[in-house]
Amino acid sequence: MDYVLPLTELIEQFRKLPGIGAKSAQRLAFQMLSWDKKEIEKFANSLLKASNDIHYCPECFNFSTGGGVCNICSSSKRDKSTVCIIASVRELATIERTHEFKGLYHVLHGLISPMDGIGPDNLKIKELLNRLSRHSEINEVILALSPSTEGEATTLYLTRLLKPLIKKITRLSFGLSVGSDIEQTDELTLAKAFEGRRECI
Amino acid sequence: MDYVLPLTELIEQFRKLPGIGAKSAQRLAFQMLSWDKKEIEKFANSLLKASNDIHYCPECFNFSTGGGVCNICSSSKRDKSTVCIIASVRELATIERTHEFKGLYHVLHGLISPMDGIGPDNLKIKELLNRLSRHSEINEVILALSPSTEGEATTLYLTRLLKPLIKKITRLSFGLSVGSDIEQTDELTLAKAFEGRRECI
* Residue A1 confidence (pLDDT) above 70: no
Dist CA B169 CA A10 (whole Å) = 36
Write down all domains in chain B, each with its CATH number in brackets.
1-36 (1.10.8.420), 77-171 (3.40.1360.10)
Q: Span A187-200, mean pLDDT?
A: 82
Q: What percent of chain B has pLDDT over 70?
A: 99
DSSP letters spanning chain A: --S-HHHHHHHHHHHTSTT--HHHHHHHHHHHHTS-HHHHHHHHHHHHHHHHHEEE-TTT--EEETTS--TTTT-TTS-TTEEEEESSHHHHHHHHTTT---SEEEE-SS--BGGGTB-GGGTTHHHHHHHHHH-TT--EEEE---SSHHHHHHHHHHHHHHTTT-SEEEEPPP-PPTT--GGGS-HHHHHHHHHT-----
CA distances to A64, A171, B18, B49, B190 from B4, rounded to whole Å, are: 6, 27, 24, 28, 56
Give chain B positions within 8 Å (CB) of A45: 44
Q: Is A4 close to B37, i.e. CB distance below 8 A?
A: no
Spatial contact of A72 and B4, defined as CB atoms under 8 Å apart: no
Minimum Cα–Cα distance from A63: chain B residue: B4
Looking at CA atoms only, how far is residue A177 from chain B in angstroms?
Answer: 20
Dist CA B147 CA B172 (whole Å) = 9
Dist CA A93 CA B28 (whole Å) = 15
Q: Is B51 close to A37, i.e. CB distance below 8 A?
A: yes
What part of A 78-107 touches B (C-beta under 8 Å)?
Answer: 88-90, 93, 96-97
pTM beyond cutoff 0.80: no
Q: What is the ipTM of this complex?
A: 0.74
Q: Span B95-101, mean pLDDT?
A: 88
Q: Is B13 close to A89, i.e. CB distance below 8 A?
A: no
* Residue A134 confidence (pLDDT) above 80: yes
Q: Is B44 close to A48, i.e. CB distance below 8 A?
A: yes
Which DSSP category does B114 fall into? G
Q: Which residue, among B20, B40, B51, B95, would best test binding to A if mutated, counting the most A CBs under 10 Å from its CB?
A: B51
Q: How confident is the model at residue B68 (pLDDT cuts 50, 70, 90)?
A: very high
Give chain A positions within 8 Å (CB) of B46: 6, 9-10, 12-13
Summarised one tens digit per residue, pLDDT across range B44-63 is 999 999 999 999 999 999 99
| Average pLDDT taken over every residue of chain B | 91
Dist CA A53 CA B7 (whole Å) = 9
Summarised one tens digit per residue, pLDDT across range B108-163 is 999 999 999 999 999 999 999 999 999 999 999 999 999 899 999 999 999 999 99
| Contact status of B29 with chain A (Cβ, < 8 Å) | yes
Q: Is A47 close to B42, i.e. CB distance below 8 A?
A: no
Give chain B positions within 8 Å (CB) of A70: 4
Looking at CA atoms only, how far is residue A53 from chain B in angstroms?
Answer: 7
